[in-house]
Chains A and B, each alone.
Chain A
């Protein structure tokens, strides 16, 4: 059985929670383990956050609402596309943006590497996606936007736990 969904939303940090909850709801009927669910939500959160703050440079909602708000209110009007395909128990996720793209994908994927240290994020975004999902592919070029593809098999967590 194949099942597909796609949502397109504004590149605002307000939507990070929405995106991961939408994916979580989409896969609930497969009865994923608590770990699998958390892994997927974290990976989606990382990818969507990257699109918003790096792809489009939108920092609205970050920091104290209202204080730095004025300048941050001018958000780039970009959209993030989140596409999920469920093929039996294999979940394919695509997070696509039309943002500024990544110059050196390999470098960007190095743990702790970040282009915006002032935001005090950890530089662990891609490392987390890689660790929490079974497969990760990043397609990007400057000015061309970024496409992140992730795959995870659902329903194996219980088996692995049992083996350990």
Chain B
């Protein structure tokens, strides 16, 4: 499994790229939110990209992570993107209505 680490957060231009872990549940979600928010406050970040390339499992906590970040950046015109989204995660996006606020980019 493994916790998320500092190198999983990268800033490219004004975009924060977050490599999500293999399993996203409530147990690890708080730490991801905290780390992400530290970047959002300190750095000039407009957009956030969530990379699901490693992710094999996600529950509703993942929705919370994305919705929370969206709320923080959308008032400054920021957008939320998702990449490497598999079928199961896409289903969760659709079911939760998250597909309306997250743009899934084909990679």
Contact A121 B27, beta carbon cutoff 8 Å: no
User: Chain B, 31-68, contact with A by CB distance < 8 Å: what is the 0/1 string?
Assistant: 10110000000000000000000000111110111011
Q: Does B12 contact A (CB under 8 A)?
A: no
Chain A contacts of B87 at CB under 8 A? Answer: 35
Q: Which of B62-97 contact A (CB under 8 A)?
A: 63-65, 67-68, 87-88, 91-92, 95-96
Chain A contacts of B33 at CB under 8 A? Answer: 120
Cα–Cα distance between A96 and B85 once the two chains are bound (Å): 33
Cα–Cα distance between A49 and B31 once the two chains are bound (Å): 16
Q: Which of A69-125 contact B (CB under 8 A)?
A: 119-125
Contact A35 B88, beta carbon cutoff 8 Å: yes
CB nearest to B24 among chain A residues = A45
Cα–Cα distance between A45 and B28 once the two chains are bound (Å): 13
Contact A120 B65, beta carbon cutoff 8 Å: yes
Chain A contacts of B88 at CB under 8 A? Answer: 34-35, 38
Contact A124 B27, beta carbon cutoff 8 Å: no
Chain B contributes a number of interface residues (CB within 8 A of A) equal to: 26
Cα–Cα distance between A62 and B26 once the two chains are bound (Å): 7
Cα–Cα distance between A45 and B63 once the two chains are bound (Å): 14
B-binding segment of A1-9, A11-19, A141-149: A11-19
Cα–Cα distance between A42 and B57 once the two chains are bound (Å): 8
Cα–Cα distance between A35 and B89 once the two chains are bound (Å): 11
Contact B95 A121, beta carbon cutoff 8 Å: no
Please judge, given known A-B contacts A64-B34, A120-B65, whether A128 and B95 are in contact too, CB under 8 Å.
yes
Contact B27 A128, beta carbon cutoff 8 Å: no
Contact A49 B95, beta carbon cutoff 8 Å: no
Contact A61 B64, beta carbon cutoff 8 Å: no
Contact B60 A122, beta carbon cutoff 8 Å: yes
Residues of A within 8 A of B (CB): 13-14, 16-17, 20, 34-35, 38, 41-42, 45-46, 49, 52-53, 61-65, 119-125, 127-128, 131
